[in-house]
Amino acid sequence: MEHIDKKSEHEANDIIDAYLNLVCLPGISERTIYDDFTANDGKHKLIDNVLLPEQEYRCCYCMMKMGNCREASIEHVIPQSIRNKGDFLQYFNTRAKNYLNYENVCLTSDFIKGRFVFPPYPHVMSYYNFSIACTDCNNHRGSQYIEPLFFYPDIKNEIQYNEKTGEMNWSADPVLNNGSSVDLPTIEKVELNTPLLKAIRCVWFYAKSHKIDLGKLKQVDERYEILYQVAGEAIVADCHFNDETLKAYLNLQTDKYWNKLLKYDYFGI
Ligand SMILES: [Zn+2]
């Protein structure tokens, strides 16, 4: 996982300002302000020209490579679904205050009540509240409260990947309250340790250490050979290895899943 350094404010806000100047008319609501951005060219420009290059074209959570706005989605770190001040302040004060400030983000309903003066930007339209995620990760995260781990400056060193099991861990990931299902650590909330993601990482780690060019393995039997080796090592190392994990390795032989695997070259670098 990589730290996202938000250094493109000027470029991003040119696009966001143009959109807000266009739509901030009486009648716009907190429910439609972001939805209308989806139909506006500005959103595509913002993703393709600013947000994707800023993240080297990788999902902020799983590191999958994405080509353009058709494959990528905007992830709101303070969730879009937050609509009241209490929830906004709770999220802000417990998770966001180290990377956001009241000069660049405010509650969207306050923005609308304040007659569209910006900055601060409504949280559903704030560059500082945006990152780019793949659709799977964005769906898994939903509107759960999470630690904005990619905004932690040293996150690359704090996240560990087990090279034999593919498992991802963040030692600082807190479990709040009593570990109930709604208070799982961030990595579990975003489902970053699915059998498929773990298998994909293991294959890349193996390829890196054995200097194998995965992009050249076009035939199923060539893929089978490496998958057999990697799965064999994972069975020994991973006490959670089960039928689902085995299925993930078997699926990876197919073009559909192999092509997905190739988008995770982050783990082979
Ligand atoms: Zn992802």
CA of 66 from ligand 1 middle (Å) equals: 9
Whether the per-residue pLDDT at 71 is higher than 60: the answer is yes
Query: Distance, CA 58 to ligand 1 centroid (Å)?
Result: 8
pLDDT of residue 113: 85
Q: Which residues pair with 73 in a beta bridge?
A: 133
Q: How far apart are CA 23 and CA 18, in angstroms?
A: 9
CA of 38 to the centre of ligand 1 (A): 20
The pLDDT value recorded for residue 85 is 93
Proportion of the chain above pLDDT 90, given as a percent: 75
DSSP string, 150-203: GGSTTHHHHEEE-TTT--EEETT-PPPTT--GGG--HHHHTTTT-HHHHHHHHH
| Separation CA 249–CA 237 (nearest Å) | 15
CA 142 / ligand 1 centre spacing (Å): 13
What is the mean predicted confidence (pLDDT) over 184-200? 94
Distance 129 CA to ligand 1 centre (A): 17
Most confident by average pLDDT, 146-150, 171-175, 210-214: 210-214
Ligand 1 centre and the CA of 137: distance in Å?
Answer: 4
State the distance from the centre of ligand 1 to the C-alpha of 266, rounded, in angstroms: 12
**135 Cα–ligand 1 center, Å:** 7
- Do 73 and 134 meet the contact criterion of CB atoms below 8 Å apart? yes
Q: 81 CA distance to ligand 1 centroid (A)?
A: 20
Residue 98 banded pLDDT, cuts 50, 70, 90? confident
The model's pLDDT over 121-133, given as tens digits with 9 standing for 90+, comes to 999 999 999 999 9
116 Cα–ligand 1 center, Å:
33
Q: What is the pLDDT of residues 7-65, one digit of tens each?
A: 999 999 999 999 998 877 667 788 889 988 988 889 999 999 999 999 999 999 999 99
Distance CA 54, CA 143 (A): 23
Length of the chain in terms of residues written: 269
Q: Which long-range contacts (CB under 8 A, 24 or more apart) does 94-99 make?
A: 94/145, 95/145, 95/146, 95/147, 95/148, 96/148, 98/151, 99/6, 99/128, 99/148, 99/151
Q: Is residue 166 pLDDT above 90, yes or no?
A: yes
Q: Once rounded to an integer, what is the mean pLDDT over residues 164-170? A: 95
The predicted pLDDT at position 22 comes to 85
Does the predicted model carry a pTM greater than 0.85? Answer: yes
What phi, psi does 97 have (nearest 5°)?
-70, -15
Q: Please check the confidence at residue 259 and state whether its pLDDT lies above 60.
A: yes
Cα(136) to centroid of ligand 1, in Å?
6
Note the pLDDT tens digit of each residue in 102-116: 888 999 999 988 877
Gap between the Cα atoms of 133 and 4, Å rounded? 12
Cβ(248)–Cβ(201) under 8 Å?
A: no
